[in-house]
Amino acid sequence: MKKFILIAVSILIVGFVSYFLFVYYATYSEGVRAGELIKVSKKGVMFKTWEGEMSQGIAGAQIFSFSVLDSDEKVIADLKQLQGQYVKVTYIERYRTFAWWGDSHYFVTSVVKEEAPFNFR
């Protein structure tokens, strides 16, 4: 009986560690999106995370919501500086996320200012 319990507990621990490592390292997709950066904020009650929104259409018809990891301080600073401007972001999409990472499955890894394809000013 003790051997059975030991094996069951070992399987549970290995399963939990495998799931954690999969969520931490595995990415579903990666890519680049461009649009007007309309929002960057730090929000949350228990875990404060950096969240942002980018408009990819006329009058905000298509919104791309994303998160930024706390460790990406340069990206956070660039996003704050470029808010309200047309930008191109590089992102990765994860299968799952942790509460302390952010709300979205999309995580921005870099941001660059771009020339808007339509310049009404």
What is the domain-level CATH number for residue 41?
A: 2.40.50.140
Characterize 63-99 residue by residue with b for buried, 16 or more Cβ atoms within 10 angstroms of its Cβ, and e for exposed: ebebbbbeebeebbebbeebeeebbebebeebeebee
Domain assignment present for residue 10? The answer is no
Nearby residues of 102 by Cβ (< 8 Å), 6 or more positions away: 49, 50, 51, 67, 68, 69
Q: What pLDDT tens digit does each residue of the chain (121 aa) get?
A: 888 899 999 999 999 999 888 888 888 899 999 989 999 999 888 888 999 999 887 665 788 899 998 888 999 999 999 988 899 999 999 888 877 788 888 999 999 998 877 765 5
Binning the chain into helix, strand and coil, the percentages to the nearest 5 are 30, 40, 30
Domain assignment present for residue 14? The answer is no
Domain assignment present for residue 15? The answer is no
Q: What pTM value is reported for the model?
A: 0.78
Q: How many domains does the chain have?
A: 1
Domain assignment present for residue 69? The answer is yes
Domain assignment present for residue 21? The answer is no
